[in-house]
Amino acid sequence: MARPEQRLAANTPGPFYVDRTCIDCGTCWQFDPAHFAPTGRTSHVWAQPQGEGETRAALMALQACPVAAIGTSRELLARSPADGFPAPVCSLPAGAVHYGGWASRKSFGASSWLITRRHADGRPNNVLIDSPRWSGALARRIGALGGLQRILLSHRDDVADHDTWARHFGAERWIHTADADAAPEAEHRFEGTEAITLDDDLLVLPVPGHTAGSVAVLFAGQVLFSGDHLWWGEDPPGVVASRRYCWWDWWEQVRSVERLLDLDVRWLLPGHGRWHRFAPGEWRRELEATLARLVEEPGGEP
Ligand code: SF4
């Protein structure tokens, strides 16, 4: 529970605040950039919400915070939405994509994503990519959307409460064999570095580098769930692959970036960092620019 006496000085005066327990995971400003922003080593409220819609967004950011570092008044807290997450991101003929919210400290606030879709006979065929923290409120909402049939884990860092989610919904879990010790109970393994077709609209792309068993998931040929392999950055704007946050093999990660050049991604939905929407054809240009920056940076030649 956030404490007003630990409120950070950087907060704009008003009912919402971030306190000293912030771990700078980025969840709040990725979800609600209209009110939250990074400060350096923490985040802060840079603009207080005005009106019903903005207050709802700030209350959802408060729910999503993995360490309860966001506080507000008792009156506003009582208005926290029970139906906020999963929050819609985009809707395609093959299914809808939602942001899971309810981030977990166990995965340093990583984002989780839900695809809701159906088999031809009408049965739900939903997929969770990475795990939010366990939340009864979120489980009720996912249940109303058809539950979970599969959980795909992008890599070892973002498994969080996968076991509780899998047990609750009877979902089958997948993780790459190279990261499988992080979720040894997972029912299925991805192997090797070749693309794996799980369904017509669901392609798993092994992208070793950040960890040995990192995978990205491509939905409907245009939504890329990238785990911690790639995200969108602001300074400069563009796709980021981070050497600083590479835990296994940097040049293997760069080769894994190159293997994604031929996609035409329209939505980049990462574990950490900003989400981004691309115009047709923009993905390749951005990724080529990213690869050029990686080679130019100090120590950039393999
Ligand atoms: S979500 Fe919470 S821990 Fe993460 S940056 Fe925001 S206030 Fe800090």
Distance, CA of 190 to chain centre: 20
d(Cα 154, Cα 233) in Å, to the nearest integer?
20
Q: What's the confidence (pLDDT) of residue 236?
A: 87
- The answer to whether the Cα torsion of 175, 181, 183, 187 is positive or negative is positive
In single-letter form, the type of residue at position 254 comes to V
CA torsion sign for 157, 163, 168, 174 is positive
Of 202, 158, 201, nearest to 179 by C-alpha is 158
What's the confidence (pLDDT) of residue 133?
97
93 Cα–ligand 1 center, Å: 34
Look at residue 78 and give its three-state secondary structure: coil
**Predicted local distance difference test score (pLDDT) of residue 297:** 73
**How far is Cα 177 from Cα 72, in angstroms, rounded to an integer?**
43
Residues of the chain with CATH 3.30.70.20: 4-77
Domain 87-296: assigned CATH number = 3.60.15.10
Q: Nearest Cα to 132, choosing from 179, 187, 64?
A: 64
Q: How far is CA 300 from the centre of its chain?
A: 28
Task: Classify burial at 43, counting beta carbons within 10 Å of its beta carbon; exposed 0-12, middle 13-18, buried 19 or more.
Answer: buried
pLDDT in tens, the chain (302 residues): 899 999 999 999 999 999 999 999 999 999 999 999 999 889 999 999 999 999 999 999 999 999 999 999 999 999 999 999 999 999 999 999 999 999 999 999 999 999 999 999 999 999 999 999 999 999 999 999 999 999 999 999 999 999 999 999 999 999 999 999 999 999 999 999 999 999 999 999 999 999 999 999 999 999 999 999 999 998 889 999 999 999 999 999 999 999 999 999 999 999 999 999 999 999 999 999 999 998 777 666 55
pLDDT of residue 155: 98
> What ligand 1 atom has the least distance to the C-alpha of 27?
1
Report the candidate in 144, 142, 82, 83 with the shortest Cα–Cα distance to residue 114.
142
**Residue 139 pLDDT:** 98
Nearest protein Cα to ligand 1, atom 4: 25
How is residue 39 annotated by DSSP?
Answer: -
22 lines ligand 1 (CB under 6 A): yes
Any atom of ligand 1 within 6 Å of the Cβ of 28: yes
Contact 58 CB / ligand 1 (< 6 Å): no
| pLDDT in the model for residue 32 | 97
Task: State the distance from the centre of ligand 1 to the C-alpha of 57, rounded, in angstroms.
Answer: 14
Between the CA of 46 and the centroid of ligand 1 the distance, in Å, is 13
pLDDT value of residue 298: 63
3-state secondary structure of 286: helix
Residue nearest atom 6 of ligand 1, based on CA coordinates: 28
Burial class (CB in 10 A: 0-12, 13-18, 19+), 90: middle
Looking only at Cα atoms, what is the longest distance across the chain?
A: 56
Handedness of CA 221, 87, 64, 49 (dihedral sign): positive
Task: Determine which residue's CA is closest to atom 1 belonging to ligand 1.
Answer: 65
Which fold does the domain 4-77 belong to in CATH? Alpha-Beta Plaits (3.30.70)
* CATH 3.60.15.10 domain position(s) in the chain: 87-296
Q: Which atom of ligand 1 is nearest to the CA of 65?
A: 1
Q: Which residue of 8, 46, 65 sits with most ligand 1 atoms within 8 Å of its CB, as the best mutation to test the pocket?
A: 65
Rounded distance from Cα 109 to ligand 1 centre (Å): 8
Q: Report the alpha-carbon distance of residue 92 to residue 78 in Å, rounded.
A: 34
pLDDT score of 40: 84
Quickly tell me which residue has 């570095």 as its tokens: 193
Cα 233 to ligand 1 centre (Å): 18
